[in-house]
Structure 1
Amino acid sequence: MKNELKITLIQSPIIWEQPALNRNSFAAKMDTINGVDLIVLPEMFTTGFTMSPENLDVEEGGITVNWMKEMAKKTKAAIVGSIVYTENGLHYNRLFFVTPKGEVWKYDKRHTFTLAGENEKYQAGKQHLIINYKGFKLNFMICYDLRFPVWSRNTLDYDVLLYVANWPKPRIEAWDTLLKARAIENMSYCIGVNRIGSDEKGLEYVGHSAAYDALGQQLVFSEKEEILQVTIDKRHISKTRDNLKFLQDRDMFRLL
């Protein structure tokens, strides 16, 4: 079992509803990355946060998953990010976790963003995605999920809570605050990867991709187009939870 996991966060602009161009853009950035275990891309990284999934070819989801497999094999790192995915005539904001061996897991966004009408266009997910990868237990979430602490509550003994997002500038203080809070209350690493730039709707994105340790200490942070690196340590989690047994005092209940 490894004690450390090296993670790359790619904070990038996204070209509106242009999957091929975005794949090329992220591929070029990945060509500069070496020796990491996991590469994290933003929410809807091939399109931006579009509420018009019907504008996309239904095959685009499969094309992007195959691309992720190729890039994972090339970089020798697992890759995670969410995309618009169409299946049986229904649309999903679906996160994929792809390993260099070609293994694929998926997570559908649990909390669709009603303020933008995402609930009318995309099917909401119902299940968590917890992956054991290189000795670390990873829990994946998408953007708006960040506002709902019960869904991320650490009843599954995970080590890392990871969010991919398109979180706009007007509400960026909430993003900063909640990422840190999720780390502290769950006594886990918490990592958030946001985009930068502006979209077709005129929304501005200022990044603020960041990583926090189990005590809420900020490890990395950025407000510009940038590739960030962070190394997380299993021993930090063990030591923190051994010394501060707060998780043992949590309220015991289940989601229905």
Structure 2
Amino acid sequence: MSELRTTLVQADLRWEDIGTNCQLLDEWLQDVTTSDLIVLPEMFSTGFSMAPDRMAEPMDQSKAVAWMQQAAQSHHAVVTGSVAVAEGGQYFNRMIWARPDGTMVTYDKRHLFRMADEHEHYAMGNERTVVELNGFKILLTVCYDLRFPVWLRNVDCEYDIMICVANWPSPRRMQWRTLLQARAIENLCYVIGVNRVGNDGNDLHYSGDSLLIDYRGDALIDEAPDRAFVRTGVIGKESLEDFREQYPTHRDADRFTLHV
């Protein structure tokens, strides 16, 4: 059965400094040699910046996107995280799924964090994105999406893993951890939540609390907060499928149609 070696990168990001963040990530990842998937925080190249007019770049000119493609190739792994992207006269908080062969899939953040005026600076995405890797189907999500279970509902086990990349401040760390576990339990899936640490340019503190959680809601990776780390865990498809057979709550789920 399929396995997926997944690397969580809980980074202390430098505020609005794309070059330095990419350089630091190169240093943090230099010992990662046997991973299938490397997961970075939301807006890993800038921090949660509301200045896309200065920080966002077109996809084909983005230094952060180019770095992701290079990192994916050098580590022979998919690299994913979100960056600020300029496109069609708008800005998007875009999650990139960069493959080692140079191809990419993208997801534009659907739920924009209005308490930080994100909805006034970035355009809303309107499509879910499910990708495949090593026999796993994976749903891509960004930060505030985590609070909206209808958007994330795993109808008929459409996906096996949900990834949520985030800049989630420490005053709400309990909600972050609880929601990650809830999404895993209710959707019968693994959940990978990767957050940053340190302080940003708005003096907001981030405790990290990056987690790899199984379909029971149990943490497979749960490091001490407030420190950067790079950790790799292995998840299996067979145990997930066995649990879904033994505890098939998805067969009793309410049916609905989501209109975007």
TM-score (norm 1): 0.97
- Per-residue deviation, residues 28-75 of structure 1 (Å, max 9, x unmatched): 111111111000000000000011111226358622212111110100
**1:220 aligned partner:** 221
User: Match of 1:225, as an amino acid?
Assistant: A
Root-mean-square deviation over aligned CA pairs? 1.2
**2:27 aligned partner:** 28
- SS, match of residue 137 in structure 1: strand
Give the share of equivalent positions with the same residue, in percent. Answer: 40
**1:161 aligned partner:** 162
Write the distance in 2 (CA, Å) between the matches of 1:59 and 1:103.
16
**2:248 aligned partner:** 245
- Per-residue deviation, residues 155-176 of structure 1 (Å, max 9, x unmatched): 1520001100000011110000
The 1:57/1:158 distance shift into structure 2, 3 A limit, reads closer
Deviates more, 1:184-193 or 1:217-226: 217-226
- SS, match of residue 62 in structure 2: helix
Write the distance in 2 (CA, Å) between the matches of 1:12 and 1:239.
34
TM-score (norm 2): 0.95
Q: Say how many residue pairs are matched.
A: 255
For residues 75-86 of structure 1, the aligned pairs below 5 Å read 75-86=75-86
Measure how far apart 1:88 and its partner are. 2.1
Runs of at least 5 residues in structure 1 that lack an aligned partner in the other structure: none
Write the distance in 2 (CA, Å) between the matches of 1:26 and 1:86.
23
- Per-residue deviation, residues 96-115 of structure 1 (Å, max 9, x unmatched): 00111111000000000000
Write the distance in 2 (CA, Å) between the matches of 1:64 and 1:13.
16
Write the distance in 2 (CA, Å) between the matches of 1:227 and 1:69.
19
**1:40 aligned partner:** 39
**1:49 aligned partner:** 48
Q: What stretches of structure 1 move > 4 A for 4+ residues in a row? A: none
User: Match of 1:164, as an amino acid?
Assistant: V
The 1:27/1:157 distance shift into structure 2, 3 A limit, reads same
**1:7 aligned partner:** 6
**2:171 aligned partner:** 170
- SS, match of residue 216 in structure 1: coil
- SS, match of residue 211 in structure 2: strand
- Per-residue deviation, residues 140-161 of structure 1 (Å, max 9, x unmatched): 1000000000011001520001
**1:18 aligned partner:** 17
Q: Would you say 1:197 and 2:198 are equivalent positions?
A: yes
User: Match of 1:182, as an amino acid?
Assistant: R
Write the distance in 2 (CA, Å) between the matches of 1:68 and 1:24.
12
Measure how far apart 1:27 and its partner are. 1.2
- SS, match of residue 145 in structure 1: helix
- SS, match of residue 83 in structure 2: strand
Write the distance in 1 (CA, Å) between the matches of 2:111 and 2:127.
11
The 1:57/1:187 distance shift into structure 2, 3 A limit, reads closer
Write the distance in 2 (CA, Å) between the matches of 1:228 and 1:116.
30
Write the distance in 2 (CA, Å) between the matches of 1:35 and 1:72.
12
Alpha carbons 2:142, 2:164 under 8 Å: kept: yes
User: Match of 2:99, as an amino acid?
Assistant: T
